[in-house]
Amino acid sequence: MSDLYPQQQLSDSKDCPPPSAHYQILKTRDAMLGEHLQIRRALPNRQRRMIGAWCFLDHFGPLPLQNNQGMQVGPHPHMGLQTVTWLIAGKILHRDSLQNEQIILPGQLNLMTAGHGITHAEESLADDKGMLHGAQLWLALPDAVRQGEPAFNHYAELPMFTKKGVTMTLLAGAMLGAQAPTNVYSPVVALDIQANNQAVLELPLNPQFEYGLLVLQGRAQLAQTALDVGMLMYVGYGHQELSLQLPPDARLLLIGGEPFAEEVLIWWNFVARSKAEIYEASQQWQSLQRFKEVSGTRLPRIAAPPVTL
């Protein structure tokens, strides 16, 4: 996923309210990724830049692919972050500058660690005429590892459990006695929640974590608050548990983590600590330095927007 939009606002974590113990309802922003794929951007949000180390959250689809090409994101760079891709429906082909070529299917997870720099492309396949529906998240890398070597991991299997008719998949971190294999660098968690029938779900929370709950499909009720698609519920630190009322077919994504202690700057596809780093990375991408090429894709390379910081 790439931030393709002309308005390239700098997201600076110090401009935002600090992590708190409160609940807060955030609205996602609609945007188009290419000609057909609508995304709802939940993070960064004007009211909240990050939840733990999670610094970006796009919900895309559901989009039927009979008459369009779905996701077509050409080669673009990343640094200072990890991308986490999770599908509910469809398939996406990932290619990167480490020569990885991986189709991701629902129930699997792609984790790309950008470190000091990586390039990737993501596309729907021409023979895929089903639905495309999923989420892409970014994790800010802590300062100690953010300049490290890039890497890519595909996790074909993740811990799954069913409780009171709700199927949950652990995408990252530890929860409910399980530990995800996902190679992350700060204390975080991510959980896919799928109601098979009407259910009341009680989930234990880590009081040191702040959380976000995003509705991917259907709706949910948290205490007196009704949550719909297009809403991200922030749950601040200090809570022991979360009680959700779920109708059949509700699908949610729970993310959480220890409030990220470092101030980060997010601009375009880069997570940094200073404007100078962003200028440098942008110029290096434009002059074909630092970021290696992706082979095998016919999609055009995405130009960096002008840096106006």
Task: Return the number of the residue (4 or 231) whose C-beta is nearest Mn ion.
Answer: 4
2-41 residues near Mn ion, rule: CB under 5 A? 2
Task: Return the number of the residue (2 or 72) whose C-beta is nearest Mn ion.
Answer: 2
Binding test (CB under 5 A) with Mn ion, winner from 1, 214, 253, 265: 1
Q: Is 34 left (phi over 0), alpha (psi -120 to 50) or beta?
A: left
> Residue 306: exposed, middle, or buried by beta-carbon count in 10 A (0-12, 13-18, 19+)?
exposed
**Do 211 and 205 form a contact (C-beta atoms < 8 A)?**
yes
Task: Return the number of the residue (260 or 291) whose C-beta is nearest Mn ion.
Answer: 291
Output the residue with the shortest Cβ distance to Mn ion: 1
Write the DSSP string, 17-45. PPP-SSEEEEE-EEEEETTTEEEEEEESB
Task: Return the number of the residue (26 or 294) whose C-beta is nearest Mn ion.
Answer: 294
Q: How far is the CB of 120 from Mn ion (least distance, A)?
A: 6
Q: Does 18 sit behind a cis peptide bond, omega within 30 degrees of 0 on the bond before it?
A: no
Task: Return the number of the residue (1 or 205) whose C-beta is nearest Mn ion.
Answer: 1
Q: How far is the CB of 173 from Mn ion (least distance, A)?
A: 22
Q: How far is the CB of 80 from Mn ion (least distance, A)?
A: 13
72-101 residues near Mn ion, rule: CB under 5 A? none
Q: How far is the CB of 22 from Mn ion (least distance, A)?
A: 32
Buried b (16+ CB within 10 A) or exposed e, 154-175: ebeebbeeeeeebebbbbbbeb
Task: Return the number of the residue (58 or 192) whose C-beta is nearest Mn ion.
Answer: 58
**Do 190 and 137 form a contact (C-beta atoms < 8 A)?**
yes
> Contact between 175 and Mn ion (CB under 5 A)?
no
Task: Return the number of the residue (96 or 210) whose C-beta is nearest Mn ion.
Answer: 96
> Would you state the structure tokens that stand for residue 270, as one six-digit string?
């880069």
Q: Which residue has the tokens 């630092």?
A: 290
Helix (H, G, I), strand (E, B) or coil at 276: helix
Q: How far is the CB of 96 from Mn ion (least distance, A)?
A: 9
Q: How far is the CB of 119 from Mn ion (least distance, A)?
A: 9
Task: Return the number of the residue (60 or 211) whose C-beta is nearest Mn ion.
Answer: 60
Q: How far is the CB of 27 from Mn ion (least distance, A)?
A: 23
Distance, CA of 84 to CA of 98 (rounded, Å): 17
Helix (H, G, I), strand (E, B) or coil at 14: helix
Number of residues that bind Mn ion (CB under 5 A): 2
What is the helix (H) or strand (E) element at residue 284, kind and residue range?
Answer: helix 275-286
Q: How far is the CB of 308 from Mn ion (least distance, A)?
A: 21
| Terminal CA-CA length for the chain | 22
Distance, CA of 53 to CA of 56 (rounded, Å): 9
Q: How far is the CB of 286 from Mn ion (least distance, A)?
A: 17
Which stretch, 1-9, 145-153, 245-253, 301-309, contacts Mn ion (CB under 5 A)?
Answer: 1-9
Nearest residue to 39 (alpha-carbon basis) of 3, 82, 80, 79: 3
Task: Return the number of the residue (45 or 82) whose C-beta is nearest Mn ion.
Answer: 82
Q: Which residues bind Mn ion (CB under 5 A)?
A: 1-2
